[in-house]
Amino acid sequence: MNTIDKHTLLIKETAAMLGFEYCGIAKAAFLKEDARRLETWLNKGMNGTMTYMQNYFDLRVDPQKLVPGAKSVITLLLNYFPQHQQKPDQPKISKYAYGEDYHFVIREKLNTFFNIIKEEIGEINGRGFVDSAPVLERAWAQKSGLGWIGKNGNLINKKQGSYFFIASLILDVALHADDAYAKDYCGSCTRCIDNCPTQAILPDKVIDGSKCISYFTIELKDAIIPEKLKGQFDNWLFGCDVCQDVCPWNSFAKPTNEKRFDPLPEILNYTAKDWDEMTEENFKIIFKNSPIKRTKFSGIKKNLQFLEK
């Protein structure tokens, strides 16, 4: 077995050992087409008040500017689909936020991943990323054979759907690249487009982030939600899963094996009254390690009032 074969096998085996369901590898290169699409999306203002998405544009589309001498981009998928879910009449929480903050969980795994391969390969240069740095994760996931980009903008895996966190590891190590996922299996289906409560999903796989319920309930935090949208949020208190819930490919979703993603009891049991009566002190205690803390206590209260009919 030559060196590249050996290192590629090490990457795949380490990913599986750490609990990642899928691991794909692509050659590090400039993302020309994705750069064009991102620039058009930003120019149309579809990022709303998320101005941070305009930052570090050149880094987002060129991994060699993130890691000098980068040769390979490793993409990892970690399933978060919960075994137990909320009751239909509760204020809704996006499934990715049921348990512990994925940033904590995946960063820990990536650090372990990097240390293992460093011990085996030797002195290497690389960086791990999880939704907190300028990396176009879904583009790399498709290029490394893990799925296709659906009409709802999510990466869809033919075997398990789209309830995955995506992590990236960029290395200056030569590896065997997987074949890109060339086929789009959405076909003529438009369920995600038809069911989006705020018509945020546009043709050609374009998502108007400034209209998305997740944007209003998470990103805006203390800002006021436009009155004209009242009653359109389908009872979503934090985030939104509609475009994933209606996707036929998610009928193949399997419950996660990651115990740190198990739902908090409050998320499964809280009624609108419980949320309304919650104090800021309790909010900080209950959601200390949860993604929900991102919107702050004031954001939850704002969202709750907005959902009231």
Task: Verify whether residue 262 is a known catalytic residue.
Answer: no
CB 230 within 8 A of CB 224: no
Q: At 105, which amino acid appears?
A: V
Of the listed 5, 58, 131, 179, which one is catalytic? Answer: 131
Degrees to nearest 5, angle at CA 37 with 102 and 44: 95
Backbone angle region of 161, left / alpha / beta, with phi > 0 → left and psi within -120 to 50 → alpha = left
In degrees to the nearest 10, what's the CA dihedral of 223, 226, 230, 235? Answer: -40
Closest CA to 75 of 153, 178, 4: 178
User: SS3 for 202?
Assistant: strand
- H helix intervals, the chain: 3-17, 32-43, 57-60, 63-66, 102-121, 137-143, 191-195, 213-214, 242-245, 265-269, 272-277, 280-286, 296-307
In the beta sheet, which residues pair with residue 73?
A: 26, 170
Contacts of 145 (CB under 8 A, 6+ apart): 24, 178, 179, 180, 181
Q: Which residues are catalytic?
A: 131
